[in-house]
Structure 1
């Protein structure tokens, strides 16, 4: 059995703590050197700023920097002697040691960590992923564990195989970890609405983290997915409100990354229309991007990535900026024209 104690600092809490007042949570993919390197000092400062700002939780994964993100979170919390923020991490990939010569950038992460990531949704794979995450995070209890990218977008040719592994043992592994008091809640993390509908109806998790599908640019989760979650009592976490960066910056300093690649012309045109609308109302585009999913009554938390203390504190400020109801009405009208 894989239910051995992790050699890590144990959190005293043994129930989920994901219902703080602040709707914003820190997405820690940037702390795994997403797109470009982040220094150790900037990573630590960002994590401490998240704690001080009272953010809901820190969301990470083994895949983020091939272990770098989780290690930085564990080191920062241990250094400060503080475990007073919930942690969410993911399972579904295991990191396998390798002696191969690795490229400077892999899967959008700048990482020299000597690992390859391998998908594994089996019972043993889930248990191994959880245990090694515990070691990197320096704790033996994780508030929320999400099964990562179990969808047809990520696995266009192998979804049925991974789904079989999940049904035959992966789901059971998460349930055993929860029953043993090692995790507080289970969830699914995906950007694929269709696969999410299948999974939450067959094996209902406590939480659904849907990435990039309820944003200023894409509201496809709202019509079909959100009502099913409400009916089944599944709490919704909306992630990637900046759609991988294109909505994150002020006018004139925009990133052209959308869905982790360069944005196509149709998306650039939509962003231009959003910028014009925000300019009309004198509202920063990233403030609208952060607050849009927060407006939905079913969304409990919005996970956004920040790579420095300055970015995080500015994000908190923008998430609390007053935006009039009339702006949201104008935005809905724009969405209707797109659809």
Structure 2
């Protein structure tokens, strides 16, 4: 699979990366055997970049990803994980608190963006992943989207302490690249003047359906050689499932307005005989700041569809009409 260099580093990322949130039982429970089999299929199609986080299944995804990758040469793939949440053993009796990870590991999550919190999170992740280094370390979910009116407090802790820890890990060679992974680009813009980050992982904000990050932010990243790894290219599913009632957009049921917009996008796809999956996967690469696109398909037919989407030929006339549509 084609690769692209990450920022100022010597890391070469495959155009498509695999997001291992499903290994933590995201939305549905799977077995460790299933996760190992899925990773082998992902490896076979040429993907060599894998991303995970302690949040996914309260450590379960990291354990399963580490186990699945163990048989492969460590120098043959790029691995990223995240800091900002510490996991503590859950001793409470009764039913697990409801969340998106059924039957997750028995740990409670606690936000901690401090120097010591980041150092501990890094070490814990290395243990769960079974590795002595992390290629890309991302500060996870800072911003008002997650923290609301506590954002300013958490941001100061992250910039004063957490960033210092990440920078030290990079200087020591334990981490090659550092950055932030979140769902909003405003906080990334806020962080740039305070830091020397190599990359950002941004979910759902530069897609066929949502280009809010294209407000000068992407251009600034390209100018400063900060790579963007884009997640959520299907905007929680609706760009893949199509404009129908019950589709999800931005982690919630899509509004009538969003469904209507996706309907127009699908009409343009049909007019030019373009697969909407291919269009959604290829759209982000139209900006030079984008280095890799994260996908999390685990079923073989979804993997095959995504692989075709990477290489499908899409005429310029299609993009011209999409540009007119998305700027209305």
Q: TM-score, normalised by structure 1?
A: 0.88
CA RMSD of aligned residues (A): 2.1
Does structure 1 residue 180 correspond to structure 2 residue 165? no
Q: Please name the residue that 1:171 is paired with.
A: 163
CA contact (8 A) 1:35 1:109 kept: yes
Q: Please name the residue that 1:58 is paired with.
A: 50
Q: Judge which range, 288-297 or 35-44, deviates more.
A: 35-44
Instruction: Give the drift of 1:114.
Output: 0.5
Instruction: Give the drift of 1:58.
Output: 0.6
Instruction: Give the drift of 1:101.
Output: 4.5
- Aligned partners of 1:299 and 1:161: how far apart in 2? 30
- Aligned partners of 2:121 and 2:92: how far apart in 1? 21
> Which of 271, 276, 297 matches 2:288?
297
Instruction: Give the drift of 1:74.
Output: 0.5
Instruction: Give the drift of 1:253.
Output: 8.4
CA contact (8 A) 2:25 2:104 kept: no
Q: Please name the residue that 1:126 is paired with.
A: 118
The structure whose RCO (Cα within 8 Å, separation 6+) is larger is 1
Does structure 1 residue 331 correspond to structure 2 residue 322? yes
Q: Kindly provide the CA deviation profile for residues 104-158 of structure 1, in whole angstroms up to 9, marking residues without a partner as x.
A: 6743222331111111100111011111111111101111000011111111111
Instruction: Give the drift of 1:252.
Output: 8.2
Q: Provide closer, same or farther for how the CA distance between residues 261 and 325 of structure 1 changes in structure 2, counting only shifts above 3 A.
A: same
- Give every structure 1 segment of 4 or more consecutive aligned residues whose post-TM-superposition deviation is greater than 6 Å: 252-255
Q: Provide closer, same or farther for how the CA distance between residues 327 and 255 of structure 1 changes in structure 2, counting only shifts above 3 A.
A: farther
- Aligned partners of 2:210 and 2:94: how far apart in 1? 35
Taking the TM superposition and a 5 Å limit, the aligned residue runs for 1:175-324 are 175-249=167-241, 251=242, 256-324=247-315
Instruction: Give the drift of 1:309.
Output: 3.6
CA contact (8 A) 2:24 2:104 kept: no
Q: Judge which range, 209-218 or 314-323, deviates more.
A: 314-323
Aligned positions, number: 320
